Structure 1
Amino acid sequence: MESESYSGYTVWGHAILQEEGILQPERYAASGTITTGGKLIEASGVLGHFDREEDAQHTGLDWARAWVDAYG
């Protein structure tokens, strides 16, 4: 999980490990969350699946920043 301050909100990028099978390579589901003052403002569903944890986190952060730009 990675977070940053953005336009008065705290935005979060999540990488959720997907365990599909023992012989399958690890994959990560991306999601994003927006909070302010410790209160949940908005959360995404699954934004996509990625081979790298960092890519999933960055996708979640990108979604959260875009949401703030559009609705915040």
Structure 2
Amino acid sequence: MEQEKYKGCLLWGHVIAQQEELLEPERYAASGTITRDNKLIEASGVLGLFDTEQEAQEVGLAWARAWVDAHL
């Protein structure tokens, strides 16, 4: 999980390991969360599956920045 301060909010990029079959490579689901003053503002659902943890975190943070830009 990676966090970032943005326009007065704290954004979180979440990574959830996914592996459907034992012999398949592990993939990572992404999601994002936005908080302000220790209160939940918004949280995404699963934003997609990615090959790396870093890619999933970046997608979660990008979603959170876009939500803040559009709503706050």
TM range (shorter): over 0.9
Map of 1:36 onto structure 2: 36
Task: Determine if the alignment matches structure 1 residue 56 to structure 2 residue 46.
Answer: no
Alignment length, in residue pairs?
72
In structure 1, stretches of 5+ residues that fail to align are none
Trace 1:1-72 onto structure 2 (pairs within 5 A). Answer: 1-72=1-72
Deviation for aligned residue 1:19: 2.4
| Runs of 4+ that moved beyond 2 A | none
Shift of residue 22, structure 1, vs aligned partner: 1.2
- Amino acid of the residue matched to residue 32 of structure 2? G
Q: Which amino acid aligns with 2:30?
A: A
Equivalent residue letter for 1:6:
Y
- 2:35 aligned counterpart, secondary structure: strand
Amino acid in structure 1 at the alignment position of 2:28: Y
Gaps of 5+ in 2: none
Q: CA RMSD in A?
A: 0.6
TM-score by length of 1: 0.96
